[in-house]
């Protein structure tokens, strides 16, 4: 059995020899470890605080060393300690994981495993803190998300809360409850992407990708009794061929307010305020007659071109006005779907609006191609960080 010798020669060669003997002694003892009990005996023999071999080395080699050899011996003893601890840790791993294996499985494995574990442990101790670190680039909000949040924030300040709905909707929510009766030609204005294989279901249950966020109006009125003020952000789909101003996937923010005595003036005041918050207090708004089945009367909101101030330029096609969103007074037929939940069209009224997020972001930031939002090019995206 190995025991720690006293040293009287502290020359590098003598130290090398002493350390070499100790290392081969430990190698041998480790290779004899076959069980947890063996390992525990080994651990105590080498690492016990009182009189373990590591303690003895400290006392007999380092403390006893003459002054001029202390530095060298100290360094070697430190390295040796790390190695001994690593070796004993490796032996534990083997006692736990290796000894249960069959002889065949063991062949050749043991030495390689001991070596690998020892080296890994020693390398860990030698961590070089001067190496450059790993840089993790910070992400940033996507301009669509950023603009969505900005729109939501404007309405949140006016007391609106946020409502969401699914992107895969039924015909009932997307069309029927929004007063597009089955086969009504107004459905043709929303180039719809239908989910295949729905023919066996009644039409109102058939699935499609929602063409607008308006179905969330229905979901909100099912969930909450009036008064209600909600905005509903989200992704919508239309069967459009992509070009600089069209994308089959885009985003909208829907709005709905229902209460007693809500009038068209409330709608105008609310949207005029929102457009000024979004584009600056200089912009003026105007309301242009339009048609949606779910609002009556309906309007398109236009704002004065914030590029030329209304004089006429390429952005506004020389008209001085830019069309931004659809809106109107909630059609009594839509309210009537929710009569039992407090939405009696004789008693309450409301307005609704829907705006395209990409379009607003493009106008705000001067982006001339909607496709840029969806390419994921970091050079584009980082400009909004
Ligand atoms: N849903 C309409 C669209 O996508 C927009 C809209 C919403 C119009 C609410 C009026 C009221 O075109």
* Tokens, residue 97: 């994981």
How big, in percent rounded to 5, are the helix, strand and coil portions of the chain?
A: 45, 15, 35
Strand 295-304 and strand 207-209: the pairing is: unpaired
216-275 residue pLDDT tens: 999 999 999 999 999 999 999 999 999 998 999 999 999 999 999 999 999 999 999 999
Model confidence at 25, in pLDDT bands (50, 70, 90)? Answer: very high
179-208 residue pLDDT tens: 998 888 888 878 899 999 999 999 999 999
Which of 230, 334, 354, 356 most suits a substitution to test ligand 1, by most atoms within 8 Å of the C-beta?
354
Residue 346 CB neighbour total at 10 angstroms: 9
Q: Tell the residue nearest (CA) to atom 4 of ligand 1.
A: 212
CA 293–ligand 1 middle distance (angstroms): 9
Q: What angle do CA 90, 95, 96 make, to 5 degrees?
A: 95
pTM here? 0.67
Whole-angstrom distance, CA of residue 326 vs CA of residue 295: 10
Q: Which residues line ligand 1 (CB under 6 A)?
A: 212, 214, 254, 292, 295, 326-328, 352-354
323-375 residue pLDDT tens: 999 999 999 999 999 999 999 999 999 999 999 999 999 999 989 899 999 99
Ligand 1 atom nearest to 252, measured from its CA: 4
Whole-angstrom distance, CA of residue 222 vs CA of residue 256: 13
Q: How far is CA 108 from CA 92, 95, 112, in A?
A: 18, 16, 7
């Amino acid at each position: 059995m190995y025991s720690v010798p006293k040293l009287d020669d502290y020359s590098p060669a003598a130290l090398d020899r002493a350390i070499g003997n100790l290392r081969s002694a430990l190698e041998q003892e480790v290779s004899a470890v076959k069980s947890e009990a063996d390992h525990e005996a080994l651990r105590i023999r080498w690492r016990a605080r009182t009189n373990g071999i590591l303690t003895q080395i400290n006392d007999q080699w380092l403390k006893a060393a003459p002054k001029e050899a202390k530095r060298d011996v100290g360094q070697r003893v430190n390295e040796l300690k790390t190695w001994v601890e690593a070796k004993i840790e490796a032996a534990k791993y083997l006692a736990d994981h290796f000894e249960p294996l069959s002889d065949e499985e063991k062949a050749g494995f043991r030495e390689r495993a001991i070596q690998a574990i020892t080296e890994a442990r020693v390398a860990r101790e030698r961590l070089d803190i001067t190496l450059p670190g790993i840089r993790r680039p910070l992400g940033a909000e996507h301009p669509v998300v950023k603009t969505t949040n900005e729109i939501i924030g404007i309405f949140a300040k006016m007391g609106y809360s946020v409502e969401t709905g699914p992107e895969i909707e039924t015909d009932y929510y997307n069309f029927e409850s929004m007063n597009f009766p089955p086969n009504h030609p107004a459905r043709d204005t929303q180039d719809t992407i239908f989910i295949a294989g729905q023919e066996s279901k009644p039409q109102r249950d058939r699935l499609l990708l929602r063409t607008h966020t308006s179905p969330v109006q229905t979901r909100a009125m099912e969930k909450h009794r009036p008064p209600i003020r909600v905005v509903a952000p989200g992704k919508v789909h239309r069967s459009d061929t992509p070009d600089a101003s069209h994308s089959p996937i885009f985003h909208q923010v829907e709005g709905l307010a229902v209460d007693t005595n809500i009038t068209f003036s409330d709608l105008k005041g609310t949207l005029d305020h929102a457009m000024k918050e979004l584009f600056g207090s200089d912009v003026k708004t105007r309301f242009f007659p339009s048609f949606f089945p779910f609002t009556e009367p309906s309007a398109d909101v236009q704002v004065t071109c914030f590029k030329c101030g209304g004089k006429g330029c390429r952005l506004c096609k020389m008209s001085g006005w830019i069309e931004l969103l659809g809106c109107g007074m909630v059609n009594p037929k839509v309210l009537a779907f929710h009569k039992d939940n407090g939405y009696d069209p004789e008693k309450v009224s409301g307005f609704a609006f829907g705006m395209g997020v990409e379009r607003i972001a493009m106008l705000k930031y001067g982006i001339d191609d909607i496709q840029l939002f969806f390419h994921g090019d970091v050079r584009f995206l980082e400009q909004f960080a």
